[in-house]
Every structure is written in C-alpha cells, then in structure tokens.
Amino acid sequence: MASHGIKDQVAIIGMGCTQFKEHWDRSTDDLLIDAVTDTLASAGVEKDQVDAWWLGTAQSGMSGVTLAAPLKLQNKPVTRVENYCATGSEALRQACYAVASGAYDIAAAVGVEKVKDSGYQGLNAFPIPTDGTQRTLTAAGMFSLVAPAYADKYGIDPNELRRTLARIASKNHSNGAKNERAQFRREMSVDSICAMPAVAGMLSVFDCAGVADGAAAAIVVRAADAYKYTDKPIFVKALAMVAGNGSGLADPEFDYTHFDECEAAGKDAYAQAGITNPRTELAMAEVHDCFTPTELVLMEDLGFSARGEAWKDVEAGAFDLHGDLPINTDGGLKSFGHPVGASGLRMLFECWLQLRHEAPEERQIDTADRGLALTHNLGGYPGDMVSFVGIWGNRLG
C-alpha cells in the first residue's frame, strides 16, 4: 500500500532559474520565457523536443494556456497544477511520473509566480466564496503560534528561542548574500534581527520569507537516456507528498510543535530512497523556511534532529553552510524570496548546482560528495498543510 517510488528511473538534465526579486519590469510571460529559455539551453534540447509540460502557479494564471501562449508551443499537452506553496514541487512530481510511466520521453516542469502585481505586501490568496467564518489570520500569524508552543514544551526561555530563530534567519541571509539570484543579499546579525519590532507573535518581518517574483524550470528524461544530454544528470531518488486532512485545527491533541504532514512525507521519501540516517547520508537540504519557526521544527520533522533538540543543533551551527548538514545554502525562502509556484523548483535548482559542484565557490558545500540532497516544500498552515519531500542524487544506486 505504501508508495513504491521511482528511484533512479528518471533524471533531471537541465535547469534554469530567474533572479527572484521585485520584477516590476517583467511580466509572468517574461519570467516564463526567461526561465524556460535558460532551462532548454542548460539541457541542450529544443522547445519542440519537449513532449509534455507541467506548469505550477498558485495564482498567476489558469490552465496550461498560461505557459503555451507565451512560449507559442505547438500542439503540446500543458497542465497547470496548484498545491498551495508546494505548487512548484507538484509540477515537478507530475513531470517525473509522466516520464517514468513511459508516456513521454522528455517532460518539463515549470514554476512561476508574479506576486508583486497585487499592490499589497505579502501573499494574498484568491478569494473562494465561503460562509464567511474562515479565520482571517496571516500566514505569519499562524506560524507564529509555533514559537511559544515549542518554547513551552521544551522549557526554553522565550528570549533564548528568539535568538535561535534569529540565528536561522541570519544563516539564511548569510547564504543568500552569496547568491546572485537571491532577493536579499545583505548579511543580518542575530542582534539586529532580534531588535526588529514584532509583527506577528514574536516574529518580525525578518522571520518571514521574502516575497518575490520569479520562475524556475527543469527538464526530465528517463534515467537511461540522461547521459545523452549531460555527463552530470541528477537522478530522482524519491518523490513524496502528503495532503493533510486539517484535523490539527480541530484536534486538541495537536500542540503546534511539529507538522505531521512533513514527518510523514519525509518518512515516505526516505523509504523510497533507502535512506536510514538522513543527518549523515544527505549532503544538504533545501527546506521550506517560510518563517523561522518553520525551519526549526522541520529539522525535527525531517529527522535531522531529535525531538526537542533542533534549537541546540541550530545554535551549534550544525545547519550552517559548512556545518555537518547544510540547510538552505541558497538563502532559502527567507533570503532567496518566495514566488509561490517557483519555489519548489528553485530548491531543486540549488541541489542541481551543489551536487554538480557548480555552485559559486563562496557557497559550494563541503559535503557534496555524499551525493544526496533533499528538497522540502510545504503549503498551508500548522495543523492544515500539504507537504512535499523530494530526494535527489548525482549517481545511480
């Protein structure tokens, strides 16, 4: 009954990613064209060679026409997918399965989001008609519930936890500063982050993901064909996905210190990939640091730290760029920015660079030869979310 996985059946042979920033001068169409053009060049294939396309966008367009029209695709299947903030990973997952099924030789996954045309700061969901009883809290507010709950459960002084969370943001800013595609490229000290005014619970704006426009894409082929295109393909080791049933919102047992959906997706992915000790087997991980407390508890949900220990590992520098398991080496959502539909593919883009030893020297990790990287992409709120975990490797087996 569990997922069988498609380990080593398909591979990524080309990727592209635009700068993530306030692209006032770039439309959704422009971002798609730029990302796809770079990706096709990276893979060395022509647009017409791609047999099928998956487009992930949360709310920058509807239907496959959103991609087919700007690219002027000729009679190709294009599917638009949406799965909250895990939309980019969902597009990638569909493309991988399509190739693994044998239906297509070459598939493309593209993610895009044009968030800065709304006129408002932050992300704003498309309103679906409801009975008007839904909560009105921001995502920052919902995730801010995690910090006091975590501090209370593990007996941590809230001020100490405040510094731990700032350390996560500071690390991601430091990594982003070394990334020319990142939205924020300024280093931020723990002290300066702690000095910012709170906007939601104990969180300040520096605990929140950057909101940016951007696009990223990947070309997927059968693993057997991969070396025809590149001598450094990245193989799919695992694709896991859980859509939560929302019971965390209604169940008094849920304590806001963990995300069941992420833990379950992680376990499934490790089983598919044959990983038993992710902390030592993985070279790196890109995780969904939408807010600093999210990254903290993900370290535990994904098995990198024991329950109640992640804050100590963070303080010890375990997840720093040159720590024993580097996390969000490209700056993460925090510093790279979060164009919703593109983020999942942006995470894979960093794994693509790092596992191929193509990251800029100042942020190339020491652990790349472990050969395995993880991407984690979630959408929704504590107790009510979707979670994706993918594992990627630079060699077969």
Locus of tokens 């969902």:
90
Contact flag: residue 256 with other proteins (CB under 8 A): yes
Q: Any contact of residue 323 with other proteins (CB under 8 A)?
A: no
Residue 252 CB, nearest approach to other proteins (Å): 5
Taking the complex as a whole, the smallest distance from the CB of residue 8 to other proteins amounts, in Å, to: 36
Q: Does residue 144 touch other proteins according to CB under 8 A?
A: yes
Residue 114 and residue 211 in contact, taking contact as beta carbons nearer than 8 Å: no
Report if residue 140 touches other proteins, rule: CB under 8 A: yes
CA dist., res. 245 & res. 239, Å (int): 20
Distance CA(294)–CA(282), nearest Å, equals 20
Sequential DSSP letters for 56-75 = E-SSS--STHHHHHHHT--S
Segment interacting with other proteins (CB under 8 A) among 187-195, 218-226, 239-247, 321-329:
239-247
User: What is the token pair recorded at 327?
Assistant: 């996390």
User: Which parts of 378-397 interact with other proteins (CB under 8 A)?
Assistant: 383
Q: Does 324 bind other proteins (CB under 8 A)?
A: no
Helix H or strand E encompassing 294: helix 292-301
Binding of residue 62 to other proteins (CB under 8 A):
no
Please tell me whether residue 137 binds other proteins under the rule CB under 8 A: yes
Does 155 participate in binding other proteins (rule CB under 8 A)?
A: no
24 belongs to the binding site for other proteins (CB under 8 A):
no
Q: How far is the CB of 118 from other proteins (least distance, A)?
A: 8
Ranges of beta strands (E only) in the chain are 10-17, 52-56, 78-81, 106-113, 214-222, 234-243, 284-286, 372-381, 384-393
* Beta-carbon-side half-sphere exposure of residue 171 (alpha carbons within 13 Å): 25
Task: Give least dist CB 85 to other proteins, A.
Answer: 17
* C-alpha distance from residue 324 to each of 80, 99, 282, 316 (Å): 38, 34, 10, 10
| Sole window of 54-62, 226-234, 246-254, 265-273 interacting with other proteins (rule: CB under 8 A) | 246-254
Please say which residue, 61 or 201, places its beta carbon nearer to other proteins.
201
Between CA 25 and CA 366 the distance in angstroms is: 37
> CA–CA distance from 41 to each of 167, 283, 330 (Å)?
38, 27, 22
- Determine which residue in the list 247, 276, 280, 357 makes contact with other proteins, applying CB under 8 A: 247
Q: Which stretch binds other proteins (CB under 8 A): 6-14, 85-93, 166-174, 243-251?
A: 243-251
Give the one residue of 127, 180, 231, 397 binding other proteins; rule: CB under 8 A.
127
Residue 195 sits in the site that holds other proteins (CB under 8 A): no
Note whether 159 binds other proteins by CB under 8 A: no
* CB-count burial class (<10 Å; 0-12, 13-18, 19+) for 308: middle
User: Are 14 and 218 contacting, i.e. CB atoms less than 8 angstroms apart?
Assistant: yes
What is the pattern of x (binds other proteins, CB under 8 A) and - over residues 79-118?
---------------------------------------x
Task: Report if residue 133 touches other proteins, rule: CB under 8 A.
Answer: yes
Least Å from the CB of residue 27 to other proteins: 21
Give 373's strand partners: 284, 392
Question: What are the catalytic residues?
Answer: 85, 338
For other proteins, the binding residue among 77, 141, 303, 371 (CB under 8 A) is 141
Whether 237 and 372 have beta carbons less than 8 Å apart is answered as yes
The count of residues in the chain is 397
Judged by the rule CB under 8 A, the positions of this chain that interact with other proteins are: 118, 120-122, 124, 127, 129-133, 135-138, 140-142, 144-145, 148-149, 152, 198-201, 245-247, 249-252, 254, 256, 383
